[in-house]
Chains A and B, each alone.
Chain A
Amino acid sequence: MMKRPDFTEYWSGVAEEVAKAKGEKAEVSELPIRSTGGSTGYAVTIIGTGGYRLFAWYSVPRGRGPFPALLQTPGYGSVVGVPAYEPRQKYVVLALCHRGQRKSDKPYAASYPGLLTDGIDNPDKYVFRDIVADCLSAFDFLLSRREVDKKRIAVTGNDLAYMTAGLRPQTSAVLVTGELLFRAVGERRTRTSEYPIEEFNDYLRTFPRRRDAVEATLGLFDPLGFASMVKAKVMISCAAPAKGYAAPLAKLVRQGDLRVAEGRGHTDHVAEEKWIDGALAG
């Protein structure tokens, strides 16, 4: 993959917009119904770029902090769930709903399929430019919290987690799981009709003349372009068929591990959880 010459300039522009939005304070409200004996749940509204109001689930372990933190970047789908019970007992957990997802769907409501190609022929209007910005705003929220140990923040999720780690050097660890949306799309899309990758095929079948523009935009979003900026420990946990295109995300960073998932959810989850625990150990 060739990194676009304007890659750094493009993402610097995004970072500047996020920095401007930081002036507006987040709203934090306790949610007794989502609290447990070991953690307190909150509803958070973070102000993203353009003044967009972003919802996030926030959970803080009971007891004296500061605590290590997890930022769960959102997956590809309309719903972001309340964070799982077990990590909430030991980590501050922030689960972001990016713009377009439920609870962050006013004024913009995402379509599935549809989100992945919304505005893709213009990198300045591509919806994922704002979605990456939303992840940075969420990270900055964690940095602003007294109960968070700033030296122990992990980011989890798909490409968005890796991109966030690249754009936020304060990230201690990044765990990448699930299907990658932007890695090597040009080649992968020709071998599948499964969604969400099929959205790229649908778009190019409908607008064949926009192919160059789409490829140019995707050149800014392939997570490989962020590898040189990632300072965190990295774990890429991928399915066997994804190994070929996922592996460079681990190889090209200073501290990268690649794990090919066994396809047995319990075994894979335990391994991933163990890795996060090790990466965030005090």
Chain B
Amino acid sequence: MDLEAIQKFRSSVKRPADFDRFWEATISATNKVPLKAEFNHVPMRSNEAVDVFDVRYDSYGGLRIAAWYCAPRGKGPFPGMLMVPGYVSEPMLPKSLAAQGYAVLSAAPRGKLRSNGQFNPGYPGLLMHKITERDDYGYRGFYMDALRAFDVLLSRPEVDPTRVGVQGGSQGGALTLLVASLRPGKVAAASAGAPYLCSTMDAATLTHSYPYQEINDYLRLQPDDEPKLRATWDYYDIHNFVDRIRCPIIVNVGLNDDVCPPATGYALFREIGGGKKKLYPYENCAHDAGTSAGHAAVVRAFMASKLEPGR
């Protein structure tokens, strides 16, 4: 798809009439679960500059979820950063970011190692887990785990609640957009790379790459289920959340991304609310979306300007 076609692409996502009600009910059910956050210091991973903690908290459905928390040594207050993971990657242990002055929580939503005791659909698997059942679809709790991770980070006394950012790439890009949408007055800055889970049903028709290929694999064997998948995805598509975003946000896409088609990123970017938004398209980049072509430095400078580590 050339740049003109990418820019002209229109998403087929529909917003269900009860979209807001569905998510209000989901958030309400999550809020009824006590957080029970635990932070256990990990001496082996800590060093002279950064303390590392193994974090556990309860989330939607009562599942126990894991995270890493890395905080600079010293009193603070520090700006906070939530890092949300990609589809297959394990959540990074963000010690080097903490060394730059951020208190960082790196979330491991259900299904990731350390959070997979009660829910473990695997990879491939997560994208299709109960996909024809809107209320029990795997991403319902998964989304709430990411949202709760933000609340866990805010619960820390050394974190300045007015300076908390969110960042991630691919599925982490999707979760970044989700958290920024559902915590509009609290997220101070967001960076979403190569966003996944936007225009999802369209994306599957534009690529043969996993994870979207999981949808193609499924529909090859059960083509009659396409309307059911679409019906579920209209409730989960990140495209339908982002008009609520109010914080400054940057989004980067690779114009040759074969995993998360750039057209779906452009369509999503148009929907982002607020106005303090900037899109960074990278030519000849794929799912790396420019990370090694200068964008890592862009993110670093953007977050530093908004969150002021070391202030």
Are B210 and A82 in contact (CB-based, < 8 A)? yes
Asked if A202 and B45 sit within 8 Å, CB to CB, the answer is yes
* A-B interface pairs (CB < 8 A), number: 92
Residue of A nearest to B282 (CB): A264
Determine whether the beta carbon of A269 is less than 8 Å from that of B286: yes
Q: Are B208 and A77 in contact (CB under 8 A)?
A: no
- Does A206 touch B at the CB level, under 8 Å? yes
Task: Say yes or no: A111-B113 contact (C-beta < 8 A), given A32-B221, A79-B88, A266-B254.
Answer: yes
How many residues in A have their beta carbons less than 8 Å from beta carbons of B?
A: 37
Query: Which of A102, A113, A194, A265 is packed against the most chain B CB atoms within 10 Å?
Result: A265
A1 contacts the other chain (Cβ, under 8 Å)? no
Q: A81-B210, A112-B90 are in contact. Are A102 and B123 (CB under 8 A)?
A: yes
Asked whether, in the complex, the Cβ of B284 is within 8 Å of the Cβ of A33, the reply is no
Judge whether A82 and B124 touch: CB under 8 Å: yes
User: Is A78 a contact of B113 with CB atoms below 8 Å?
Assistant: yes
Chain B contact residues: helix, strand, loop or mixed: loop
Does the CB pair A33–B218 fall under 8 Å? yes
> What is the CB-to-nearest-CB distance from A196 to chain B, in angstroms, rounded to a whole number?
10
- Contacts known (A77-B89, A81-B210); A265 close to B288, Cβ less than 8 A: yes
Interface residues of A in 208-258 (CB under 8 A from B): 239
B residues near A205, Cβ cutoff 8 Å: 44, 47
Taking the complex as formed, is A12 at the interface, i.e. its CB lies under 8 A from any CB of chain B? Answer: no
The yes or no answer to B27 lying at the interface (CB within 8 A) is: no
Interface readout for A82-118 with B: 1 if CB under 8 Å, 0 if not? 1011100000000000000011000001011100000
Shortest distance in angstroms between B49's beta carbon and chain A's nearest beta carbon?
A: 8
Q: Assess the B92–A266 pair: CB atoms within 8 A.
A: no
A261 to B93, CA, bound (A): 26
Over the window 149-172 of chain B, the binary record of Cβ atoms lying under 8 Å from chain A Cβ atoms (1 yes, 0 no) is 000000000000000000000000
Q: Does A17 contact B (CB under 8 A)?
A: no
Give CA–CA (A263, B294) in the complex, Å: 9
CB distance from B104 to the nearest CB of A (A): 13
